[in-house]
Copies of this chain bind each other. A is one copy, B any other.
Amino acid sequence: MIFVTHNRHKYEEISKMFSQNGIALRWLNLEYEEIQSESIEKVSLESCRRLSGDVTEDFFLEDSGLLIKHYGNFPGPFSSYVYTTLGTDGILKLMEGIDSRGAEFITVISLFFEGKIFQFTGTVRGKISLEKRGEGGFGYDPIFIPEGFTKTLSELTADEKNTISHRGRAVSKLIEFLKKHNVF
């Protein structure tokens, strides 16, 4: 199975879960153009459709987004752009003095498998922390506290994070599907 991503962190997280399940994963480090849409599912589906013309084997790709309730689910599908411009400091600044810090992480995986596209979604609810904490993970992990936890995603071990995270949950569904279809 091929994972198309330009993000080394994503590849490392997901390949850990694949190897724990005995499924071979190869990394296709590719940057591709995305459509601009407020639906992460739609962005991911469209990317998958386009790439299916270029990638000759079965593959999947992954899109994740942070959704801050107070700001109409900002930054959503633009999470990557907002991370490189505002960063976690910008997000913390936007949350200053705001009581409702509820947020959600979502991952959508689009799998191109035997000529068809399948999508797998994982989410985790939580809140934006008051300050950055932790060294693990990447992206917005240092400022996101999952529901039922006091630690940020960055303060969890890689295995703990994969068990409860949006990405981990979406990948679990993908792995279940692949096992059912005898992909190793």
Interface residues of A (CB under 8 A from B): 33-38, 43, 71-78, 81-82, 84-86, 90, 93-94, 96
A35-B33 contact, Cβ under 8 Å, with A73-B85, A90-B71: yes
A75 to chain B, nearest CB (A): 8
Specify which chain B residues have a CB less than 8 angstroms from the CB of A71 in the assembled complex: 85-86, 90
Contacts of A90 in B (CB 8 A): 71, 74, 94
Given contacts A36-B35, A43-B36, A78-B78, contact A72 B94 (CB under 8 A): no
Tell me how many chains of this kind the complex includes.
2
| A and B contact pairs by CB, cutoff 8 A, 24 listed | A33-B35, A33-B36, A33-B37, A34-B35, A35-B35, A35-B36, A36-B36, A36-B78, A36-B81, A71-B86, A71-B90, A72-B84, A73-B85, A74-B82, A74-B86, A75-B85, A76-B85, A78-B78, A78-B81, A90-B94, A93-B93, A93-B94, A94-B94, A96-B96
